[in-house]
Amino acid sequence: MDYFLTEEQQMIRDLARQIAEEKVVPVRAELDEKNEYPWEIIKTLAQSDMIGLFIPEEYGGLGKGCLELCLVVEELSRACVGVSTTYAANALGTYPILLFGTDEQKKKYLPDIAAGKRLVAFGLTEANAGSDVGGIQTTAKLEGNEYVLNGTKQWITNGGEAEIYTIIAITDKSKGPRGASAFVVEKGTPGFTFGKKENKMGIRASSTRELIFDNCRIPKENILGREGMGFIVAMKTLDSSRIGVGAQGLGVAQGAFEEAVKFARQRHQFGHPIISFQAVQHMLADMAIEIEAARSLIYSVARYVDSGAKDISKPSAMAKTFGTDVGMKVTTNAVQVMGGSGYMKEYPVEKMMRDAKILQIYEGTNQIQRNIIGQEIIKEAARKK
């Protein structure tokens, strides 16, 4: 189908696909097996201006929008979700600075981020604060001209590898979620260390670590916005980034579908290629339908966000939920089409299926996304009375 991409958008997509095929596909199995961070691929993406794609031109980026970012994420995910997670998490960590940073903060951090010199991570999740942001226990106390951070963040993508961290911490416990604030913390700050690198089921090329703050002192100028805005910073950031998670689901689904079609043409049973069997054709047809439906939704939502729309929580949640559900379903069915071969590491679909699962979990579980959608439906119905 033609999604009416501009010539520039097609060029961005094609360049991302070339990088994925030439740089990612040959090493994805090794990165997965070794649990190895894809630094060489990140360098290639930086040299190709992909890292700074969504950062305004005045800060050294290309000034592109949500759709362009989704195109790159989709193509990287088609090859390896571990690599695309590393790439997308950099954008996730950057959004708080883009959305809420002062001009001085943007000038300080964004040029290096756009150039790929310093990667970023977003620190929200804790042991008791995943879907329940109100459970955050990391604190930030103002002492003179510094905030003192104490606490631990859990399962942070790019943890340990990133140089810049956007952190949500509690500045006023009495206000609950409204007492949260957002900060920029740089790697190497005394009192800021990292826990062990997690040994994950999937997305093993990405780095996932604890962030540990033990009397970590940062300048008070490192606050994003003002005290009490942390919850808003987190929600606005996730509204912007969740579409990219949907694009990850779309990309991995496309990759798995292509592998299943290729295998079904080559594999013979009962004297015929299995793609000639109606049962297999129906599975492939359903996969193709779901992929195109996901692509239509994700691209439409991305364009809506790029239009400057403010009411993006519901469509963003829809794009994330549908795209990642499709990713999980299609990768699972690709393994089924390929039978025993699909279950073996010799073929990439077993990795794709392992990678796809986390997409339904991180950046807000799909159950939480359905809650968001449901609450928005209630609000819309009330306004129509």
3-state DSSP assignment of residue 140: strand
Helices (H), the chain: 7-19, 28-34, 39-47, 66-79, 81-100, 103-114, 230-266, 278-306, 313-342, 349-359, 366-383
User: Which of 8, 259, 363, 376 is an active site residue?
Assistant: 363
CB 68 within 8 A of CB 9: yes
Query: At how many degrees (to 10) do helices 349-359 and 313-342 cross?
Result: 150
Return the closest-CA partner of residue 159 out of 136, 112, 125. Answer: 125
How far is the C-alpha of 123 from the C-alpha of 128, rounded, in Å?
Answer: 14
Q: Catalytic residue at 58?
A: no
What lies within 8 Å, CB to CB, of 349 at 6+ separation is 256, 259, 260, 331, 334, 335, 338, 342
How far is the C-alpha of 336 from the C-alpha of 99, rounded, in Å?
Answer: 43
Return the closest-CA partner of residue 307 out of 66, 1, 83, 136. Answer: 66
How many Cβ atoms sit within 10 Å of the Cβ of residue 18? 12
Backbone angles phi and psi of 81, in degrees to 5: -70, -25
Question: What are the tokens at 105?
Answer: 């903060």
Q: Which residues are catalytic?
A: 363
